[in-house]
Structure 1
Amino acid sequence: MQAAIKEATIHMGTTAGKQLLEDISAARQEVIVLSPFLNAEQMRLLLKLHQENVRITLITTLCHNMIGNLEGDDFRAELIKQYKRKDPEAEHKKESLKGLITFLYVALFSFILTGIYTYLYYYAYAQVCMLVLVLLTLFVLCTAASELRNTSLYRYSYKTIFPLKIFIDPGNQKVKNSSKHFIHAKAFIIDQSIAYLGSADFTCSSLSSNYESIIRTEDREAIQDLLSEVKRLCNNASDDMDFVDIEEWGKMIYDEPLK
């Protein structure tokens, strides 16, 4: 994208991120963060703002099987929630299987009794036929019982607590991906009225101690262009950047009980 900025303030130095952090902390409606790296303290700030009903959108990068650089903390269970719903088809299937299993138990008992009688009073070929019937019934019974155990009454889905797009670092050796580009851009939009661009990631060191360069603007046209680019990224506009499948990640961190 390209955007012309009419008015902007440039911050450079070790305190360049101070006002950015203040503006994000003071947000009342919405905060959009595009940063390949963030740390635990900044993630907690976003979660706090979310709890205060501030709309959050986060675009970041998966590095070393974690969300950005979070100093060993794993926030996935807080960011991704599991939802379950009863599956009517599975419920009907379970009831049908229970009925079938009851019938098979009765049939198996009957075949065993008949087999004993056949063994005592009939020829060998009749005995073989009864044995085949017993074994076949037992096989079907075991199959139905296994199917009943493995049929879940529920279907599970996973959603993030706020819009979250996690692209995968092309150099990530732990997660299979087809990414060709690493997202290195940093952008922050607060309440759709303030935007920051520059070198600073959403980390404590970038916002408080690193020598960074940051541009702050309230130019509405430039902010609208940035919002359009954020929407494009969130809508998977590029085939050259692979991203985390939230459904798959949810299955990794949550159990899916069959009952």
Structure 2
Amino acid sequence: MFYNGANCDIYIGKGAGKKLLNDIRNAKKSIKIVSPFLSPFLIAELIRFRKRNLDIELITTDTIEDFYGDYERNIHQLILQNKETDREAVEKREKWNDISKILTYITLGLLAICIGIAYFFRDIKIALALIPIGIMVLIIKLYKNKIKNQRIYSYWYSQLFPFKVYMSPDTTALSDTFIHGKIYLIDDQIAYLGSLNFTASGTKHNYETRIRTTDPNVIKEIKEELYQLLHHSDIPERDIQYWGKQLYPEPIN
């Protein structure tokens, strides 16, 4: 993308992030961010903004994962687990369970009869009756294993808001492109560009450069660029379905 003659404000120094955060926190409709590095507390703010029904879009690199030790990670709120039930599998499992119960009652009844006969007649031949009882026990065990291994749930994963996590050249040999740009688009009316990452150090402490513009023509170009980057980029990205399977347990029944 190239655009010449833009009307903009320029900020340089340690306070370059203050105005940005104020505009983000005063957003009325949408926040769109491109930043290769992220701070957990700022991601938590985006999560809160989404719960206020703001449209959020995020483009970052595979440094998004953040750990709090024993605390809940933001990534669990960004990637949501959805569970679907296979009704046919449930009916099949219930049928097997009913058969298993019936066979168990029959087996217990046969065992009780054999014990009674053995007690009154003291005949060693009664022990032969244990053979069919043993077969019944094996059949019951077979059904219980089928019940245990029958998958009735399937899982898929969705996003709290649209985001792309592109893989950096350090983690893949498929691309040498690193998403290093920092772009912020607020309510499709205010845009920021510069060196400032969406991090605590970037927004508060670092010596940064930042351009702020409300130029309608520039906003239009930036909006289109973000759309292409979010929906039509060929840079390798982290697969949300695979990532979700790593984050969450998936009991089958």
TM-score, length-normalised on structure 2? 0.77
Equivalent residue in structure 1 for 2:245, among 233, 239, 251: 251
Instruction: Return the letter of the residue paired with 1:258.
Output: I
Deviation at 1:99, TM superposition (A): 5.0
* Deviation string, structure 1 residues 66-86 (Cα, Å, up to 9, x no partner): 53x778773112222222232
Residue 9 of structure 1: aligned partner: 9
Structure-2 residue corresponding to 1:59: 59
1:217 and 2:213 matched: yes
- Give the structure 2 partner of residue 154 of structure 1: 153
Question: Which residue, out of 180, 183, 186, partners 1:184?
Answer: 180
Matched AA of 2:62: L
* Equivalent in 181, 192, 197 of residue 193 of structure 2: 197
Q: Which residue of 1 aligns with 2:40?
A: 40
Consecutive unaligned residues in structure 1, runs of 5 or more: 114-118, 121-126
- Tell which deviates more after alignment, 71-80 or 214-223: 71-80
The two structures, once aligned, show a CA RMSD in angstroms of 3.5
Deviation of residue 37 (structure 1)?
A: 0.5
Q: Is the 8 A contact 1:186 1:198 kept in 2?
A: yes
Match in the other structure for 2:169: 170
CA distance in 2, matches of 1:27, 1:186: 18
What is the TM-score with the length of structure 1 in the denominator?
A: 0.76
**Counterpart residue identity of residue 237, structure 2:** D
Q: 1:231 and 1:147, CA in 2 relative to 1: closer, same or farther beyond 3 A?
A: farther
Distance change (3 Å), C-alpha of 1:255 and 1:70 = closer
| Residue identity (%) | 32
Give the conservation status (yes or no) of the 8 Å contact 1:38–1:70. Answer: no
Q: 2:154, 2:252 within 8 Å by CA — same for their partners in 1?
A: no
| Matches of 2:20 and 2:67, distance apart in 1 | 20
SS, match of residue 59 in structure 2: strand
CA apart distance, 1:42: 1.3
Residue 215 of structure 1 and its aligned partner are, at CA, apart by 1.2
Q: Distance in 2 between matches of 1:71 and 1:201?
A: 21
8 Å contact kept, 1:179–1:242: no
Cα separation, partners in 2 of 1:179 and 1:110, compared to 1, 3 Å: farther
Gaps of 5+ in 2: 114-123
Instruction: Quote the Cα distance in structure 2 between the aligned partners of 1:139 and 1:52.
Output: 58
